[in-house]
Amino acid sequence: MTDSAVPPLASGAPPERPAQLGNVKATRDDWLDLALSVLAVEGVAHVTVLNLSERLGVSRSSFYWYFKNRDELLDALLDRWDRLNTRSIVSQADESAGTVNDAVCNVFRCWVNPAIFSPRLDFAVREWARRSANVRKALDRSDRVRTEALKGLFVRFGYDDEDALVRARVLYYMQIGYYALDLNEPIETRLNLTPHYLKAFTGLAPSEAEVDALRAYAARHAHVPDFGSSRGRP
C-alpha cells in the first residue's frame, strides 16, 4: 500500500480528464467507488478491469487514464479502507469525553454507524490478507494502530499500561470476532446490552445518560444502506 492517499496517475494522463465511451463518462472516483463496493461484497478476485469497465459502461482502455495497472488500483483500495475503518476508530478513540464510558461510547459509534466504519469491507480485507503478504502486512499494521488507539483511551482515564492494553484488546477482539462470526443480531438487542458491555470493558457501570446518548446516535445513523442491504457501506 502506498503512503499517499491518492496514488499517482498513469504517466501522461491528465488528472481531470474522464474515461469515456460514447457519451458515458467515468471519473477516477467512479472506478474506486465501484471497486470498493465490489471488494466489500464479492471479494478481491472480482475486482478486475474487465468486470469494473463492464459495470461502468466504459472501455477497458479508459481504466489506464487513472491507474498504471490493477496493482495500483488495489493499493488505492487498501488506502481507502485504511482511511475509512482504521482512521475512524482512531479518531473516535481520540474524541474528548468526560468519562471513560463516554469515551468507549464514542468508539461504539463506529459499530452503529456504517458511514464511518464498514464491517463488510473490513471482513473482505481480512479475507484478502489470507492470500496476500502485502495485505497481511497492512492489516497487521492496522490492527496494531487500532489497538494502540484504544489502549490510549484507557490510559487517558487512569488505567495503567497493562490494564489498558488488555481492556483495549478485549474490546477490539470482541468486536472483530462479532463480525467474523457474522452474528445477525438486531441493533436494538445490542443497544440493550450496552450497559453490560461498558461495565465489562471499563469496570464501571455507565449512567443512563451515557447509554441514552449512544442510543440517540444510533437512531440517527444505524440505517445507512450498504450496497443495497441494511448493514452499512464503505
Do 95 and 106 meet the contact criterion of CB atoms below 8 Å apart? yes
As a dihedral over the C-alpha atoms of residue 118, residue 120, residue 126, residue 130, rounded to 10 degrees, the angle is -160
pTM over 0.85: no
Q: Which of 73-77, 112-116, 125-129, 224-228 shows the lowest mean pLDDT across its residues? A: 224-228
Average pLDDT over residues 83-103: 97
pLDDT of residue 26: 86
User: Distance (Å, rounded) from C-alpha 229 to C-alpha 153?
Assistant: 33
Task: Give the closest residue to 33 by CA, choosing from 90, 89, 81, 68.
Answer: 81
Residue scoring higher pLDDT (130 or 180): 130
Please, what's the largest Cα pairwise distance for the chain?
63
Tens of pLDDT, residues 102-119: 999 999 999 999 889 999
- Rg value, the chain, Cα: 20
Contacts of 180 (CB under 8 A, 6+ apart): 123, 126
pLDDT of residue 22: 43
User: Distance (Å, rounded) from C-alpha 173 to C-alpha 183?
Assistant: 15
Q: Identify the band that residue 154 occupies on the pLDDT scale cut at 50, 70 and 90.
A: very high
Does residue 1 carry a pLDDT above 90?
no
Does residue 229 carry a pLDDT above 50?
no
Q: Identify the band that residue 179 occupies on the pLDDT scale cut at 50, 70 and 90.
A: confident
Q: Which domains does the chain have, with CATH numbers?
A: 82-221 (1.10.357)
